[in-house]
Structure 1
Amino acid sequence: MTVEHRMDLRCHASAHSETVRAIGVLVRRSAGAELQMTFRLDGDIPRIRVCPPGASRIGTQLWRHTCFEAFIAVEGQPAYHEFNFAPSGEWAVYAFSGYRNGGPVANEMMRPQIAVRSTGSRLELDTIVRLDCLSAIHPRASLRIGLSAVIEASDGLSYWALRHPADKPDFHDADGFALLLKPPGPA
């Protein structure tokens, strides 16, 4: 059995974008310990700055440019992981024991699968994260998920998330981990 959710990200009030009309996310959690996400950005794609596609590799400071993100925490626990997915194919994983207390994880075993499709009005990024690479608990636990995006466009940076709990964009705020994702039941 697969658990599926569709939701829209909201632009933070501090940064308006005329280039981006909407960002939606489809999240699927399978019994096979996979978390699949499809980020769909609708807008004036030629005005969005995206690095050209390249080999899948670990990147740094991906959040400074167009990047989609997922924050994954076991329900009731302060520890969480942050995944960054760039349309270029670069990715990054960070592990935190609590709010912003942690850093990068350079482990190729955590490499997400990333596929990108683009037209003049839509950019889609599909990714798959293996929950069993985070811990033995993640595949069978209820998870709190924060979904977000930083979009670099000709009209500036905009910050998108399921929920913005603060006056300034802060994707690490656990109050923004707005999706409760229960483990899938037996098939």
Structure 2
Amino acid sequence: MNDQTFSLQPFPSTKSLPKLKIAGNIARNGNKLAIRYLLKGDLKEIAIAPLSNTRSRKHELWKDTCFEFFVSIKDSLRYWEFNLSPAGYWNVYRFDAYRQEMQEETAFTILPFSVQNQADGLALVLEVDLNKIVSAEQEIEVAITTVIKHRDGEVTYWALTHRGAEADFHLRDTFIIEL
């Protein structure tokens, strides 16, 4: 098993950012990928939709508070974007190359994740079988990101690293975790 911890950084901004911390861990055991996000801080400043009883696919989750990660096969242009809303919605998109040919990834019909409100924050935990998109022998590269929508409508972008002049989670040199 390959288990790594992470801490996300906000894209630099001239505006004041809420006092937040986004951290967690990611592990790959065989071809099961487990990721745990911990969002801590002043959550009353963040727009978080109430948890829905329905776990369903929904588009454009990145317009609101959304936990995301990107998976690519090492040395391949193709990659997948996973979106997880703390409200319980999800989606997965496949790209053939950098922002090219975005398609909903139909190999996934459900993403089994849980959201727990904690005294000092929120935890989101997902375990997903990658066999539908990659083989267990293939090395993968992962980018971990989060979009935070503030109550005032401002949006901030958090990632392991930011490499562009603007926040861009699709840049392949930000896929820095190897599993």
Fold shared, TM-score > 0.5 on shorter chain: yes
Please give the secondary structure, in 1, of the residue aligned with 2:173: helix
Q: CA RMSD in A?
A: 1.7
Letter in 1 for 2:35: M
Aligned match for 1:149, one of 141, 146, 149: 146
Aligned match for 1:45, one of 40, 43, 46: 43
Aligned residues: 177
Distance 1:17 1:106 in 2: 36
Q: Which consecutive segments of 4 or more residues in structure 1 shift more than 4 A?
A: none
Distance 2:71 2:132 in 1: 12
Q: Residues 5-64 of structure 1, C-alpha deviation per residue, up to 9 Å, x if partnerless?
A: 001111100375532421102001112x21010011111112211111111100110001
- Structure 1 window deviating more from structure 2 (169-178 vs 39-48): it is 39-48
Distance 2:14 2:2 in 1: 33
Please give the secondary structure, in 2, of the residue aligned with 1:132: helix
TM-score, normalisation: structure 1? 0.88
Q: Residues 56-99 of structure 1, C-alpha deviation per residue, up to 9 Å, x if partnerless?
A: 10011000100011100011111100000000110011001100
> Does 2:137 align with 1:140?
yes
CA offset at residue 102 of structure 1? 2.1
CA offset at residue 106 of structure 1? 5.3
Quote the sequence identity (%): 28
* Cα distance change of structure 1 residues 53 and 102 upon mapping to structure 2, 3 Å threshold: same
Please give the secondary structure, in 2, of the residue aligned with 1:163: coil
Which structure: greater strand fraction? 1
Distance 2:14 2:97 in 1: 27
Please give the secondary structure, in 1, of the residue aligned with 2:155: strand
Distance 1:102 1:87 in 2: 27
> Which residue of structure 1 aligns with residue 88 of structure 2?
89
Question: 1:124-139 to 2 correspondence within 5 Å?
Answer: 124-135=123-134, 137=135, 139=136
Q: Residues 142-176 of structure 1, C-alpha deviation per residue, up to 9 Å, x if partnerless?
A: 11100000001125211000111101000000011
